[in-house]
Amino acid sequence: MNTKIAIIGGGPAGLAAAVSAFDAGVKDVVILERDDKLGGILNQCIHNGFGLHTFKEELTGPEYAERFIEKVRERNIECLLKTIVVDLSEAQGGGVTVTAMSAEKGMFEIQAEAVVLAMGCRERPRGALNTPGYRPAGIYSAGTAQRYVNIEGKMPGHEVVILGSGDIGLIMARRMTLEGAHVKAVAELMPYSGGLKRNIVQCLDDFGIPLKLSTTVTDIKGKDRVESVVLSKVDEKNNPIPGTEEEIPCDTLLLSCGLLPENELSSMLGVDLSPVTGGARVDESLETSISGVFACGNVLHVHDLVDYVSGEATEAGKHAAEYVLGKTPAGEEAAIALETGNGVRYTVPSFVRPGRLENFLTVRFRVGNVYKNPEICVYLGDKCLQRRKKQICAPGEMEQVMIKKSDIEAMAPGETIRIAIETE
Amino acid sequence: METKNLTCIGCPMGCALTVTYEPGNRDSVKVTGNTCKKGELYAIDEVTNPTRIVTGTIRVSNRKNLVAAVKTKDVIPKSKIFDVAHELMKISVEAPAKIGDVVVADICGTGSDLIITRNVE
């Protein structure tokens, strides 16, 4: 099988990328999705709050997904469901060989001229947390519990402690409560929550669920089933403080301790990955280190809002189409690197070819700490181009800056672009 | 006069708001701790007429291991959240059902319909 653009993953990123590539003039697009339906993780995110930016209304996850699934259907874009991609490799003579597998077709290959990586992310599992204690039943990642409750209608437990106050943990605290469970506490290692304020108020405060900051799980008791967990306060180096232990009887522990971009396939293909995001290093066109291979959505870097995923994927799809149609603007000059200054964990993109920009370069990034009254500063070489005051920057929220193409073109050779957080 | 402490949800600042008010009298509400107008408006709504959208799941009578996702079409009084949550445990829908289908009109006397939010095949 041959195709112009293969899109790996049928979640919000893959759907938006497919629609955008199609609308940019490439009709031969195929989406490969391992689940039996399109929509990805949105299918289990049945709470509201999606789409405020894109549709100016508050949708639930499945409703948001359906808007894009309809666009894919209207265009008759081919979708291979229950199909898992097992390998990506550069084909001799250009393009990418996609090796996929399904119960129906067995193992098969697709030759694609361009590929959009849209595989999303996975939850950090217990094994990656070094949590002591037995391995009894009753320990779930928050997203797994979310699938059980919201799709299969099964309750993972009744007396619940949640470790990690990211948005999924907060959302599940409310969800389990409404389904009749007793959520006893949400523990967070950091001195601040990584979740949205709105979720802290509407998922915890509304139901009187305590949020314990600078706290972690130091023991899990119970052999066959969780019987209790021990919470301890941590010091500024995140080490547990002896004497602060608090044992909480419970039958279930949910883990909401971060998301990791799922880049095994990207690695097989030899795509250059960022050690900070775990996603590909991309240029202004969201193209990876391998030409014709683009990345977008949570496989590139974990987003806070799905609206931004759709926006980024729309860009990636468009650039993939330009690549296939031979319309990629020249921009063969040396790429300019983007560097992270004080407080900035990473930037997307990692480098830019000014000749390929339309009018602006949009840089998305996250900060590493909570900053009150900071200035977001953009330096081109030694010169400070922009200073934007903000009331607050927090790790849970993606930030962005826009830089004019003409400013980047005026840079001297060898200079870099640096984004930094400055406080008084 | 009553006093309530709230966290503003307008932005990541999460200003700690202190609200004093006479119950039932919107004009009596006084807000401190906010750093912008959003905080004041949020606090006034929160102490006079707090509302939420409720989302959840209901059984699908002719399917196994599958529930239907639902929401209240409009915001409902915060005090009715558990009434709706308990009602969801009692009702079911028959597959197929489509996004937007009304399962219960005016659920729990909230004035809001309960609608399907995920297609059930």
Edge-to-edge, what's the strand order for the sheet holding A399-404?
A344-348, A360-367, A399-404
Ordered by start, the domain boundaries in chain B are 2-49, 55-116
**In chain B, % of residues over pLDDT 90:** 80
Chain B environment of A52 (Cβ under 8 Å): none
As given in the structure block, the two tokens for residue A361 are: 């370069």
Residue B120's pLDDT is 97
Chain A environment of B52 (Cβ under 8 Å): 202, 206
Return mean pLDDT, chain B.
93
**What is the distance in angstroms between the Cα of A310 and the nearest Cα belonging to chain B?**
19
Chain A environment of B47 (Cβ under 8 Å): none
CB A202 within 8 A of CB B9: yes
Do A206 and B52 count as a contact with CB atoms less than 8 A apart? yes
**What is the distance in angstroms between the Cα of A267 and the nearest Cα belonging to chain B?**
35
CA distance B92 to A244: 46
A293-A123-A13 Cα angle (round to 5):
35
Do A396 and B12 count as a contact with CB atoms less than 8 A apart? yes
Which residue matches tokens 């949590």?
A131
Residue A331's pLDDT is 64
Tens-place pLDDT, residues A111-148: 999 999 999 999 999 888 888 888 999 999 999 999 99
Do B85 and A47 count as a contact with CB atoms less than 8 A apart? no
Residues from B contacting A (CB-CB < 8 Å) are 6-9, 11-14, 35, 52-57, 59, 65-67, 69, 71, 78, 81-82, 85, 89, 99, 117-119
Residue A156's pLDDT is 97
> How many CB pairs below 8 Å do chains A and B form together?
84
As given in the structure block, the two tokens for residue A415 are: 């200079």
Please check the confidence at residue B56 and state whether its pLDDT lies above 80. Answer: yes
CA distance B107 to B116: 13
Among the partner-chain residues A198, A200, A391, the one whose CB lies closest to the CB of B13 is: A391
Do A46 and B65 count as a contact with CB atoms less than 8 A apart? no
Residue A360's pLDDT is 94
Do B89 and A180 count as a contact with CB atoms less than 8 A apart? yes
Which residue matches tokens 């509407």?
A202
**In chain A, % of residues over pLDDT 90:** 86
Chain A environment of B7 (Cβ under 8 Å): 197, 200-201, 205
Please check the confidence at residue A53 and state whether its pLDDT lies above 90. Answer: no
Residues from A contacting B (CB-CB < 8 Å) are 43, 46-48, 58, 60, 62-63, 66, 149-154, 175, 178-180, 196-198, 200-202, 205-206, 391-394, 396-397
Q: For chain A, list the domains and their CATH numbers.
A: 1-123+259-328 (3.50.50.60), 125-257 (3.50.50.60), 331-424 (2.60.40)
Chain A environment of B55 (Cβ under 8 Å): 46-48, 60
A280 residue type, one letter? A
CA distance A169 to A187: 10
CA distance A383 to A337: 15
A345 residue type, one letter? R
Average pLDDT over residues A48-52: 90
| Phi, psi angle pair for A176, to nearest 5° | -65, -40
Chain B environment of A46 (Cβ under 8 Å): 55-57, 69, 71, 117-118
**What is the distance in angstroms between the Cα of A274 and the nearest Cα belonging to chain B?**
27
CA distance A399 to B99: 33
Do B56 and A179 count as a contact with CB atoms less than 8 A apart? yes
Residue A56's pLDDT is 86
Residue A332's pLDDT is 65
Chain B environment of A205 (Cβ under 8 Å): 7
Residue A155's pLDDT is 97
Lowest mean pLDDT among A3-12, A259-268, B4-13, B101-110: B4-13
Residue B112's pLDDT is 97
Residue A406's pLDDT is 94
Residue A174's pLDDT is 98
**What is the distance in angstroms between the Cα of B7 and the nearest Cα belonging to chain A?**
7
Exposed/middle/buried for residue B46 (C-beta within 10 Å: 0-12, 13-18, 19+): buried
Please check the confidence at residue A38 and state whether its pLDDT lies above 90. Answer: yes
Question: What residues pair up with A240 in beta bridges, in sequence order?
Answer: A234
**In chain A, % of residues over pLDDT 70:** 99
| Phi, psi angle pair for A136, to nearest 5° | -80, 170
**What is the distance in angstroms between the Cα of B1 and the nearest Cα belonging to chain A?**
22
B55-116 maps to CATH 3.50.50.60:
no
Which of A35, A36, A60 to mutate to probe the B interface, most B CBs <10 Å?
A60
Say which residues have a Cβ less than 8 Å from residue A216's Cβ, sequence separation at least 6: A163, A187, A189, A231, A232, A234, A238, A240
Confidence of residue A194 (pLDDT cuts 50, 70, 90): confident
Tens-place pLDDT, residues A308-328: 999 999 999 999 999 999 988
